[in-house]
Copies of this chain bind each other. A is one copy, B any other.
Amino acid sequence: MTNTKYSRQRESICHYLSNTKEHPTADMVYQNLREVYPNISLGTVYRNLSLLVDQGTIVKVSCGDGVDHFDWDTSSHNHFICKECGCVLDLEMDSINHINTIANAAFDGQIEGSVTYFYGKCSKCK
């Protein structure tokens, strides 16, 4: 794909993701977009989500619950996953950015990045 054309559907996916603090799954995006585009296809959602991930516009959050979540916020931050209700929350933690440097020191390959997931109970479930 040499060039990317505009599409209302992709625009709408971006709009939805940029206006939620949740970390929706492909299916959540699909269910939501159907209210605006009743005959949008799940395939379109998946295709655009992975395209946006490749572009670096959004971030894929694979927190281990078997479903991929997506996050509009591409800035360096971490995620918390509630063991109780399964919600995914943002967690600001600048102080752990140094771990890559530490890790690289004790590793004979090349570490380019890292992802940390925190688990426990959210304020509601506590």
A residues lining the B interface (CB < 8 Å): 60, 62-64, 78, 80, 82-83, 89, 91-93, 95-96, 99-100, 102-103, 106-123, 125-126
Contact = CB atoms under 8 A, between A and B. Distances in A.
Contact of A60 (B64, B120, B126): B64
A123 B109 contact: yes
Contacts of A95: 99, 102
A118 B103 contact: yes
B103 A93 contact: yes
A76 to B, nearest CB: 14
Contacts of A112: 83, 119-121
The residue in A60, A118, A119, A122 that gathers the most chain B C-beta atoms within 10 A of its C-beta is: A118
